[in-house]
Chain A
Amino acid sequence: MSTPTLTPENVLPAPVKRRIGPLEGVGHGLTLAKRNLRYVLRTPTTLIDTVIQPVLFLVVFVFLLGGAISGSWQGYLQTLVPGLMVQITMYASIGTGMALNTDISKGIFDRFRSLPIARSAPLIGAVLGDVVRYAVALSVLLVLAFALGFRIQTDPLSTLFACVLVIVFGLTLCWFSVLIGMMVANPQAVPGVAMAVILPLTFGSNIFADPETMPRWLEIWAGINPVSHFVDTVRGLMIGGPVAGPLAWSLVAVAVCHAVLLPLALRAYLRRVR
């Protein structure tokens, strides 16, 4: 079989592969993650979600509500920023499900599936690409927060650890987002469903206000809400306070969520790409 006009000698394809190793699969995932990032840069709406949202939340809550909630916006800024880091990441995770759903409802997914690459590669690509998106959103938030006067009261290493934790938390939510993305018919439906879950988790927590000021039932919920424990951890790591207790709680919550959501998301994904 010869393809004269198509086949320079030095780029002959490798012999037929029958299995795809895990390492190769991760490689495919990385290639697709790069593609997804390029996509974020090219489509203004996803970029706006990632960059503008942190800015808006910070500005609205600090200047509009900070004085009312906490007496002065400067004081509020200190407690709000660690909480916003968690909240921003939760919002950003919605994009994962939307992106995957968009790909699947377009022809590009058939292309990926027709190639000899790992079945999971598009999923890995979407998730890895989003880790970068979370990091960008966090950076935007922190840079602005510093400009407004936010100060770390611990040390850089703890702060870095806090950021890593938040990204790990984002990954947990990623699976939730993937699960929704696989269940709804079109990408536009993802945010609606995701918000129904994310809103009670973010506002029913200690991110924006002290739960002691809330009605009893909401205070109980905010106490149970893993997001509150997560925020406590991040606050402890960045502005001081107890860390060990909330950290243990948070890690258990992340582990449980992973154990439940990851298999569900994978199953839903594999059913869609089968």
Chain B
Amino acid sequence: MDTCIRASGLVKRFGRTTALDGVDLEVPTGSIQGVLGPNGAGKTTMVRILATLARPDEGSVHVAGYDALRDPVAVRGLVGLTGQYASVDDELTGRENLELIGQLLGMPGRGWKARARELVERFDLSEAGDRPVKTYSGGMRRRIDLAASLVGRPQVLYLDEPTTGLDPRSRGDLWQIVRNLAEEGTTVLLTTQYLEEADELADRIAVIDHGRTVAEGTPSELKRRTGSQTLHVRPVDPTDIDRVMGFVTDLLGTSPVLASDGVSISVPTDEPILLSSLVRRLDQQAITTDELALRLPSLDDVFFSLTGRALPGDTDEEVSA
């Protein structure tokens, strides 16, 4: 498969801090690449370099065959960028923003007008299209911003934390838009702090931490990397939880972890017969369960095992898929 984005050995320093410490990345044409990492991992710096907004101190970047350092204009013509903060003019209306970009791109004839109309409709902004952007809600701002980066029909789209701060519904809408774009052949690179988001959208994920790539692969490859599965049990009667914990400890020799909901437990295991033994034991004691399953680890678990740290800010902010 063609490689669309190829970055190697990217280093970027800001004074004494090293934002990127030798990042490599290869993204096949037409795929969705997730870049996962906590705040300050270097994700935004990386996207800015890939979009020619910043120059790396070391390393090289090629996008669709063009050298981004030598041929930035060519790369800018192929790439669309949606940053963390809406890069649109608050005072102009949504439609005017899109028209302005179309004009700057030199769309022939009145092409920019038609293109703006098309995007306004496609992004469900027909009603709001003629209001100044400063009156928009968070979700609408993200949509107009994304539309703005699509005016020139980019082959490559960079999305820097596109759903940070969005409510679950707007997030779901945006995910669908990204999926559609990828289906239409656009190569998408998406940074996120949300494991669910990377899991949901990305064909491949690069996990970066402290300016380095700590892991790379498909979501399921990454999950397999932790080397074990996780057993989840939730008894119907919450008061049974202590007895269930006792059985599992007996069978495994290690004690399980009580989940934050207080009514279920989980424990990592490589023991293939654990499930059947546990089922027999629960049966004998007439304990029924709502949930009893062996699962691949979540990306949370993966991130933890790769970096020794939990992903911040992901516990209280549930993402509905």
Contacts and interface: CB of A to CB of B under 8 A. Distances in A.
A134 to B, nearest CB: 21
Interface string A76-119: 00000000000000000000000000000011111111111100
A27 B51 CA distance: 23
B153 interface: yes
Contacts of B149: 111, 114
A6 B87 contact: no
Contacts of B148: 111
Given A17-B74, A19-B73, A110-B87, A7 B153 contact: yes
Interface string B174-191: 000000100011100000
A14 interface: yes
Interface stretch (A36-44, A187-195, A244-252, A263-271): A36-44
Interface string A1-44: 11111111011011011111000100110011001001100110
A110 B87 CA distance: 7
Contact of B185 (A2, A17, A35, A113): A2
Contacts of B30: 1
B297 to A, nearest CB: 36
Interface residues of B, number: 51
B67 to A, nearest CB: 11
Contacts of B132: 42
Interface stretch (B110-118, B224-232, B237-245): B110-118
Contact of B115 (A11, A20, A27, A112): A11
Contacts of A114: 51-53, 76, 79-81, 87, 149
A8 B113 CA distance: 13
Contact of A31 (B74, B86, B90, B103): B103
B252 interface: no
A10 B111 contact: yes
Contact of A115 (B74, B76, B83, B92): B76
B300 interface: no
5 contacts: A7-B153, A13-B105, A13-B152, A109-B87, A114-B51
B155 interface: yes
Contacts of A2: 184-185
A108 B87 contact: yes
Which of B51, B73, B152 has the most chain A CB atoms inside 10 A of its CB? B73
Contact of B184 (A4, A16, A112, A113): A4
B77 interface: yes
B5 interface: no
Contacts of B10: none
Given A7-B153, A13-B153, A115-B105, A18 B74 contact: yes
B150 interface: yes
A14 B73 CA distance: 13
A97 B193 CA distance: 37
A90 B255 CA distance: 77
A16 to B, nearest CB: 5
Nearest to A103: B89
Nearest to B103: A31
B91 interface: yes
B53 A110 contact: yes
Which of B30, B89, B132, B152 has the most chain A CB atoms inside 10 A of its CB? B89
A178 B315 CA distance: 46
A121 B152 CA distance: 18
Nearest to A20: B73
Nearest to A28: B104
A35 B100 contact: yes
Given A11-B108, A13-B153, A107 B73 contact: no
A65 to B, nearest CB: 37
A1 B155 contact: yes
Interface in B209-245: none
Interface string B82-108: 010111111110001000110111111
Interface string A170-191: 0000000000000000000000
B88 A116 contact: no
Contacts of A31: 100, 103-104
